[in-house]
Structure 1
Amino acid sequence: MSPTSEKDAQREAKRIEPVLKRLWKQGKWDPGTVRSEMLALGYKERTGPHGEQLGGNLDVRGMDPRDESGHSVTPEGAQIGLHVHQDACVTAFVQKTNYQVQVNGPYLESGCFTPPFAH
């Protein structure tokens, strides 16, 4: 990630963090609510409900399933992938237990989202 791209991504992360903190405190972490709040910040959706390309920079989706005691569990919450530049993303989530916002480069396999398998 270039220094300029990292700086731009850090700026976007600082815009997103207070919104996720507020939603977390309010107990509102469903993908629809989170998407609405991100759109209110002026971001545009990257893909539509059927995978169609919309040309924006924002992806919001539910949390990935994970294994707990041998069972697959999908926690409540939402993940955010914001494409800031080709080499920079803001990746975030909000769920019942916590929220997090970070800056990273895109993954070849999954764009701004951490791949759900070993990388």
Structure 2
Amino acid sequence: MVRMVTSPQRPRLGAVSALLIAAALAALTAGCGEQQQHDTTAGTPGSSQSAGSSPTPSSPGASPYVEPGVVDGAPHNGDNNAYRRPGDMTPADEEAAQAEAARMEPVLKQLHREEKWDPEIVKAALTGKLGYEIRKVSSRGKLLGGELDVQEMRSRYDGENDEYVTPEGASIGLYVGEHACVTAFVQPTNYGLKTNGPFPETGCMEPPVGH
């Protein structure tokens, strides 16, 4: 006789299968939840930074107008000091200016040695010994003649006494043609001269510091 035993086994297999399916669904649900949480974190700002790294902070108070080569970072330094930038000289202009500087240097040296730096004395020495003529300009700015300009030193601020003072000495500007200058000075401490093109606002006279 063959005994049929299928009926008692079916309930037990069905229960086991149900438990396996439930466990699989639970594991799948947990896995999906973890993946979703990871994706959300990756989408937040700064999440692309690697472990242990941090964004490079920008310099506080940095000016967007700082120019290359400006030591103190002053804004628009080049534009603000354009008036102190002399014009260009051709090789011929420079050669002519250097020749006049060579003539003027011994006179300035002698004036300094003799302690003569008053503008009127300097003017008389340069016109008398070198034959320069005093530069004359009309009230409308038209050149009337001459090439030499001699003035007193520019006033400077004295911080100790909170006032502007005019130092002893003379400022000198010699026009050599239209595009070259000898810019010079003589004062109690020293004297000096250089060749350059005219300055935009002051011609062959050394412009003041600051504007």
- Structure 1 residue 38 and structure 2 residue 126: aligned? yes
In the aligned structure 2, how far is the partner of 1:63 from the partner of 1:9? 22
Moved over 2 A (4+): 50-54
Question: By how many angstroms is 1:117 displaced?
Answer: 4.4
Instruction: List runs of 5+ in structure 2 lacking aligned partners.
Output: 1-88
2:184 matched to which residue of 1?
92
Q: Please, what is the CA RMSD of the aligned residues?
A: 1.9
User: Partners of 1:36 and 1:52 in 2: how far apart?
Assistant: 24
Look up the SS of the partner of 1:100 in the other structure.
Answer: strand
Q: Counterpart of 1:102 in 2: which secondary structure?
A: strand
User: Which residue in 2 is equivalent to 1:57?
Assistant: 147
Give the structure-1-normalised TM-score: 0.90
CA contact (8 A) 1:45 1:54 kept: no
Q: Which residue of 2 aligns with 1:102?
A: 194
Q: Indicate the residue corresponding to 1:18 in structure 2.
A: 106
- Structure 1 CA distance for aligned equivalents of residues 206 and 119 of structure 2: 17
Instruction: Specify the alignment match of 1:5 in structure 2.
Output: 93
Q: Tell me the CA shift for residue 57 of structure 1.
A: 0.5
Q: What is the distance in 2 between the residues matched to 1:8 and 1:72?
A: 37
* Counterpart for residue 72 of structure 2: none
Q: CA separation in 2, counterparts of 1:112 and 1:118?
A: 18
Q: How many pairs align?
A: 118
Which is greater in Rg?
Answer: 2
Considering fraction of residues, name the structure with more strand. 1
Whichever structure has more helix as a proportion of its residues is 2
The change in CA–CA distance for 1:52 and 1:2 in structure 2 (over 3 A counts) is: closer
Instruction: Tell me: CA distance 1:52–1:77, structure 2 relative to 1, closer, same or farther (3 Å).
Output: farther
Q: Structure 1: how far apart are the matches of 2:142 and 2:112? A: 30
1:73 shift after superposition: 1.4
Quote how far apart the aligned CAs of 1:118 are: 3.3
CA distance in 2, matches of 1:9, 1:61: 20
Q: Is the 8 A contact 1:81 1:92 kept in 2?
A: yes
CA distance in 1, matches of 2:122, 2:178: 23
TM-score between both structures, scaled by the size of structure 2? 0.52
Structure 1 spans left out of the alignment, 5+ residues? none
